[in-house]
Every structure is written in structure tokens, then in C-alpha cells.
A and B are shown apart, each in its own frame.
Chain A
Amino acid sequence: DTGVSQDPRHKITKRGQNVTFRCDPISEHNRLYWYRQTLGQGPEFLTYFQNEAQLEKSRLLSDRFSAERPKGSFSTLEIQRTEQGDSAMYLCASSFSGVDTEAFFGQGTRLTVV
């Protein structure tokens, strides 16, 4: 296993279109996180899963955002009716649950809404 993989790496879309991103975590990890990072800012928490259960969803996540992790493996993050303010880097991370666990990040998907 080579780490957390995200696809695509870059996405340019027109305002109003829907986009979907995929994250493949490290295979043994039961915890999967989605973060959003804008230029010059730290990663902002969006949502996280333990296995297939979505444990928490940030208030930052409007109804246009939805995430799934079927069967507790890969995850998808969908943004409907994209807006220019959605332009950001979307980061996925995975870890084991519990104490002293390191979260491993993927390289992110850079979304540009034009």
C-alpha cells in the first residue's frame, strides 16, 4: 500500500456543475477524514468516518456537500451546484482510531470553479 490516494488531482468546473472526488485510504485504516484547505490557511475539518459510519459533519458543510464511505473502504465527496467559493484543495486523510494514531494525508484534489 502506497498511502492515501486521491482522484482527480485537479478539477476545473463551471459554476453550477456537480463534482465528485474519490479517496482511497490506507487499507487497514478504519478512520477516514475530509478536510478543505484554502490558500494560506490550515486544513478545515469537513467530515469523518469510522468504517462506513459518518461520525461527524462540520457546520461548514452545506447541504450541497455529501460524503459516503460504502463498505468502509474508499470514500467519495460530492459537491452539487458548485459555487466559486468552493474553490479549494480538498484533502483526505486516514488513520486507525484510538490514541497516538497518526493521520496520513493524500496529496489532495484542487478544485477550481470558474
Chain B
Amino acid sequence: QQQVKQSPQSLIVQKGGISIINCAYENTAFDYFPWYQQFPGKGPALLIAIRPDVSEKKEGRFTISFNKSAKQFSLHIMDSQPGDSATYFCAASRTNRDDKIIFGKGTRLHILP
């Protein structure tokens, strides 16, 4: 049972464009939704995270949009740059139960120069 479903598997975007990655979750007990970025040969690193009491969070060029009723959230990368080329993972956790982080399968993003 996959608790966090991520799409697309891969994405190619022109430099300066908007990259959009989507995730859906099943467990309504999740209360923390981070996005991680991973470069080849490195471990994942936290990019941005959101709680379900807000519908949007923005940090620089990265925005999370959250739809609690649809149990979906998405990552938007504005003005995408070649340096953003990486694999992105959405994730979810039940921090009120001090629980582990569950990851999606990842999206490999490639930004064309």
C-alpha cells in the first residue's frame, strides 16, 4: 500500500519555466508534508515543508500548494534553473504521533538550459 503517490515520474522543463510536481496521500492523520531534493550521490535534503492548517507556503522560488479536502499537495518551482535538476520527493508524517517519514517514489526533474 503506497501511502504517498507522486507524479509525474519524470519532468523536463525549459529554463525559466514553472515545474510542477504533484502528490496525493491517503492517511488523514498525516500532519506534516515535506519536500526533499536529492542530487546524484547525495542523501535527500529538506527543501520546504507545510502543515495542513495553511493552503500555501512560499520560500523563494519554491511554493507548496496544499488541498486538504482533496488530500493533495504540489510543489511549484518558479523560474526553473538548470541547477534545480534533481530528484524531488514528497513525503508525509504524523508528527503528533512522533512517527516516521513516508516518501513518494520521486520525480526526476531536468531543466533544459
Contact = CB atoms under 8 A, between A and B. Distances in A.
Interface residues of A, number: 27
Given A33-B100, A40-B106, A48-B100, A4 B43 contact: yes
A97 B97 CA distance: 10
B96 A102 contact: no
Contacts, number: 58
Contact of A107 (B43, B98, B104): B43
Nearest to B42: A107
Interface string A48-61: 10100001100000
B96 A43 contact: no
Interface string B32-47: 1010100001111110
29 contacts: A4-B43, A33-B101, A40-B105, A42-B6, A42-B104, A42-B106, A44-B103, A45-B101, A45-B103, A48-B100, A55-B98, A98-B95, A98-B98, A99-B95, A100-B32, A100-B51, A101-B95, A102-B34, A102-B46, A103-B46, A103-B101, A104-B46, A105-B36, A105-B44, A105-B45, A106-B43, A107-B41, A107-B42, A108-B43
Interface of B: 6, 32, 34, 36, 41-46, 49, 51, 89, 91, 95-96, 98, 100-106, 108
